[in-house]
Every structure is written in structure tokens, then in C-alpha cells.
Chain A
Amino acid sequence: GAGVSQSPSNKVTEKGKDVELRCDPISGHTALYWYRQSLGQGLEFLIYFQGNSAPDKSGLPSDRFSAERTGGSVSTLTIQRTQQEDSAVYLCASSLGPVGFGANVLTFGAGSRLTVL
């Protein structure tokens, strides 16, 4: 697609429920990232996928968080047994390759705002 698409744009859930957030990256982008932006906070790296390599999960805050990327394209971030502190905007980004190399830059989606009551 023309840009990075995320859904849902807004999600309100009750504490203890599971949620899934979806990201559809730009076609042909091999690198995909998830970040979390909490109110008044900066961006917190969560997880990074590059091609068929094992993902870098070093930013996931707990084992309630997981993500997968199917077919090297669409990614789903799953949060199990949500807690109020999980409330944030979850941002997905993609790039042609790792951002530390060459001219690669991140293109972000508009984000999914999660509110846990």
C-alpha cells in the first residue's frame, strides 16, 4: 500500500481482556517495528522484524506481549490479560531495511490508541 496501515485506530477494553493490534506495512519493506507511546512519554521500542530472521524482542515489557509477522508482511501485536498501564498509542513502522544502514528511514502508521479500563 501507499503507507503503513494500522487497525483498529482506537480500542477500549476491560482489564484482563486480550487485544490484537494489526499492522500492514508498505509493500516491499522488509523491516517492521512496533513502538509504544504512553501519555507524555517518548517512544518505547517493543519489537523488530527483519525479513525471515528471528525478531528482536528485547523491548517487550513482559511476557503478556507478543507479536508475529506472517509471510513477511502483516504483523499482529497481541497483549494478553491487559492492565491499565498498557494504555498507550501503539505505533507500527516499516522500512526497506534496518535503519542503521544506508539511507533507510522509518515510515510510521497513524497508530492504535489502546485504553484499558
Chain B
Amino acid sequence: GDSVTQMEGPVTLSEEAFLTINCTYTATGYPSLFWYVQYPGEGLQLLLKATKADDKGSNKGFEATYRKETTSFHLEKGSVQVSDSAVYFCALPGGNAGNMLTFGGGTRLMVKP
């Protein structure tokens, strides 16, 4: 079935460093792709999404481009802040009829001042 694979963490960076969290997918067709973020003690919230190939999703300084050539949807940010410390999940529709989200294992980001 459709699935996503993302890099394992934790990723530890200093403030203002450049961030990349890799995500690759396996899918039949071209599903929408999502990044969700989970801040400490909170539920998941949508960070950004892209609905078709070559689309770029962006939010809060984060970006991810849907690349069908490399089946990737890597998350990037040019300058991270301490407040970006969280767990990031890549996801795509899956299940019996593509009606639910299948998530990657999550990548913990820790940003040090």
C-alpha cells in the first residue's frame, strides 16, 4: 500500500541553522502530501500540504516541494528557532479507499539557543 518514509531523529540544530527533514513516498498515482507538526504536550496540527506534483506548500517559514521524479516531499526551513522544536510527521492518504492518512514515523527536531 501507499506509504511514507522519513528520516529518523532526533535532529539537533542551533538556532538560525538550515533545516532539512527528508520524506519519500510510495504511491500509486499522485496523492496529496502533508506535513504535520506536534509541539510538546499538544496534538498534531497541519503544517503544510501539496495537492499535485511540483506544488510547493509553505507555512511559518517552512517549505516542501512535491517532486514526483524523486518521489520526495522534503521539509525545509532556512533559519530555525527554538520554538520550532517539535516532532514532524510526513503523511499521505492511504487505507482501504485512501480515506485516512498514513503517517511516517516522525522526526524529532531539537533547536538549541
Residues of A at the B interface (CB closer than 8 Å) are 4, 31, 33, 35, 41-43, 45, 48, 50, 56, 58, 91, 93, 98-100, 103, 105-111
Contact A100 B43 (CB under 8 A): no
* Complex contacts, A108 vs chain B, CB 8 Å: 36, 43-45
Q: Apart from A31-B99, A33-B100, A100-B98, list 4 A-B contacts with CB within 8 A.
A: A42-B89, A91-B43, A98-B97, A98-B100
Contact A45 B89 (CB under 8 A): no
* Complex contacts, B102 vs chain A, CB 8 Å: 45
Contact A41 B105 (CB under 8 A): yes
Closest-CB distance, A60 to chain B (whole angstroms): 13
**Binary per-residue interface labels of chain B (27-70) against chain A in the complex, 1 for a CB within 8 Å, 0 otherwise:** 00001101010000111111001010000000000000000000
Contact A4 B43 (CB under 8 A): yes
CA A100 – CA B93 in complex, angstroms? 5
* Complex contacts, B34 vs chain A, CB 8 Å: 105
Contact B43 A48 (CB under 8 A): no
- B95 contacts chain A at the CB level, 8 A cutoff: yes
CA A31 – CA B106 in complex, angstroms? 24
CA A31 – CA B34 in complex, angstroms? 18
Query: Given A56-B96, A58-B95, A100 and B89 touching (CB < 8 A)?
Result: no
Closest-CB distance, B5 to chain A (whole angstroms): 11
Query: Given A48-B95, A100-B31, A43 and B43 touching (CB < 8 A)?
Result: no
* Complex contacts, A110 vs chain B, CB 8 Å: 41-43
